[in-house]
A and B are shown apart, each in its own frame.
Chain A
């Protein structure tokens, strides 16, 4: 597709379960970002992949969160032993090289932890 694709669009799970969120970036985009958006809050940076460089994990809130990007394309964000405070919309964005290149966002995954 032409845009960033995320799946699932909605996920409801019980506290303590693991979840995997998927992001398929725009073809050819070298940079991929994960953000989290909670109600009434701004977008919170989680993790950033740029080409073949080691990812910037400085935004991950705890060691229960991890992400990988295979083949420089699709990325998976994994949350282990989910907690209620993990409930949020998880947004993925991608961009091409260049300082002035905007990030293009997917529609997000709305995660609800019961």
Chain B
């Protein structure tokens, strides 16, 4: 079966660093994606990992360990506008549809 697990909610302080974890069990693996979704808006693409290691993109970084079925999204220098849901998604193979976790709702407080 397919299963993506991530925490339901997290709270962090403006200016701080937060790590959002994601574990997955899928029949195949051809990449892991992170999306950001503000309330009432479309998910927007943040990052893609297919090989083990860390991918850095400005304030956001994403890490993957395929042997552990584990990824995290790291957000640095948090800003109030980072308050959103963060969706972890895995692709089984090829260009097939993504399997999504239920998302982690992040609240950034002053």
- Among listed B57-65, B67-75, B89-97, interface-contacting one: B89-97
Residue contact A56 to B42, C-beta cutoff 8 Å? no
Known: A42-B4, A91-B42, A106-B42. A100 touches B98 (CB 8 A): no
A-side contacts of B44, CB under 8 Å: 105
CA distance A102 to B82 in the complex (A): 21
The reply on B99 being an interface residue by CB < 8 A is yes
Interface residues on B, range: 20 to 34
List B residues 23-45 near A (Cβ within 8 Å). Answer: 30-31, 33, 35, 41-45
Known: A33-B97, A48-B96, A99-B95. A41 touches B45 (CB 8 A): no
Report the minimal beta-carbon distance from A106 to chain B, rounded to whole angstroms.
6
CA distance A47 to B35 in the complex (A): 20
Residue contact A42 to B97, C-beta cutoff 8 Å? no
Report the minimal beta-carbon distance from A29 to chain B, rounded to whole angstroms.
11
Residue of B nearest to A48 (CB): B97
List A residues 38-56 near B (Cβ within 8 Å). Answer: 40-45, 48, 50, 56
Report the minimal beta-carbon distance from A61 to chain B, rounded to whole angstroms.
15
Give the number of chain A interface residues (Cβ < 8 Å): 28
A-side contacts of B99, CB under 8 Å: 45
Report the minimal beta-carbon distance from A18 to chain B, rounded to whole angstroms.
25
Report the minimal beta-carbon distance from B49 to chain A, rounded to whole angstroms.
10
List A residues 2-45 near B (Cβ within 8 Å). Answer: 4, 31, 33, 35, 40-45
Chain B residues engaging chain A, CB cutoff 8 angstroms: 4, 30-31, 33, 35, 41-45, 48, 50, 87, 89, 91, 94-103
Closest 4 CB pairs of A and B: A102-B45, A105-B42, A42-B102, A43-B100
18 cross-chain CB contacts under 8 A: A33-B98, A35-B100, A40-B102, A42-B87, A42-B103, A43-B89, A44-B100, A45-B99, A50-B95, A56-B96, A59-B97, A91-B43, A95-B95, A97-B95, A103-B33, A103-B98, A105-B44, A107-B42
Chain A residues engaging chain B, CB cutoff 8 angstroms: 4, 31, 33, 35, 40-45, 48, 50, 56, 59, 91, 95, 97-108
